[in-house]
A and B are shown apart, each in its own frame.
Chain A
Amino acid sequence: EAGVVQSPRYKIIEKKQPVAFWCNPISGHNTLYWYRQNLGQGPELLIRYENEEAVDDSQLPKDRFSAERLKGVDSTLKIQPAELGDSAVYLCASSLGHRGWDTQYFGPGTRLTVL
C-alpha cells in the first residue's frame, strides 16, 4: 500500500515569493492534515480536512497561507508571500477518520528554506 506522498521534497525560495506544496493521502483516507515542524520542535497542526471541507483551520495564518482539497483527495498548501520565518518542514498526514483511535500516517515532508 502506498503511503502519503508529498512533493517537492525540498524547496528554496527568496522571501516574498510564492510557494506551493502538494500532498496525496493514502487511498480511502477521508481526513487530511497539514502540519508545520520548525527545527527542534514537534509538528503543529495548520489545517485539517474532512473530505473536501476544512473543519479546523484555526492555526492557519490566513493572511498568507491558503489550502485546498478539491474532490476530497489530494491537497495543496500555498504560501504567498513567503517570509523568512516560514522556513520549516511542512508535513502532510492522513487518517481513515478523525476519531481518537484513527492513526495518522505521515508523509516525508517538504523542507522549505526561505532566503
Chain B
Amino acid sequence: KQEVTQIPAALSVPEGENLVLNCSFTDSAIYNLQWFRQDPGKGLTSLLLIQSSQREQTSGRLNASLDKSSGRSTLYIAASQPGDSATYLCAVGGNSGGSNYKLTFGKGTLLTVNP
C-alpha cells in the first residue's frame, strides 16, 4: 500500500524567502506525482504534475523535482509572498489494482508567509 509523507507539517517564513517542501513515498512504481494547493474552505488546485519519466517541472516561481528511485519529491518556492500561504499537498499517482489509477495524498504542509 502506497504511503505518502510530507515534511514539515507546518512552516512559517518571512516574505521573500526561498523554501522547500518535501514529499516521500514508499512504492516507487508510480505513474506521476502532483503538487496541489489548498486554501481554507476551498478545494484543491493543481500546481504541477510530473510524469514518472520526468525529473522536474517548473511553473513561474514553483519548481518540483522527482526522484522516483529514492521515493522523493521536493517543491521549491522562490521569493515567497504572503499570497503563497496555504496548505500544499503532494499526491502520488499509481495503480490501485487492476487498471485503476489512483491518487494517494500526503497530509500536507501548512505554509505561512509573513509580510
Asked if A45 lies at the interface with its beta carbon under 8 angstroms from chain B, I say yes
A45 touches B103 (CB 8 A): yes
Interface residues on B, range: 20 to 34
Residues of B with C-beta under 8 A to A106: 36, 43-45
Q: Which residue in chain A gives the minimum CB-CB distance to B42? A: A108
Name which of A14-22, A60-68, A72-80, A97-105 contacts chain B.
Answer: A97-105
Known A-B contacts A100-B101, A106-B44; A42 and B96 likewise in contact (beta carbons under 8 Å): no
Binary CB contact string for chain B from 66 to 109 against chain A (1 if under 8 A, 0 otherwise): 00000000000000000000000101010011001111111110
Q: Cα distance A45–B51 when bound, in Å?
A: 21
Interface of A is mostly: loop
Shortest Cβ gap from B37 to chain A (Å): 11
Contact of B4 among A42, A48, A100, A103 (CB under 8 A): A42
A100 touches B102 (CB 8 A): no
Known A-B contacts A42-B107, A100-B51, A101-B49; A109 and B43 likewise in contact (beta carbons under 8 Å): yes
A103 touches B49 (CB 8 A): yes
A101 touches B46 (CB 8 A): no
Q: Which residue in chain B gives the minimum CB-CB distance to A111? A: B41
Shortest Cβ gap from B33 to chain A (Å): 10
Q: Cα distance A56–B94 when bound, in Å?
A: 14
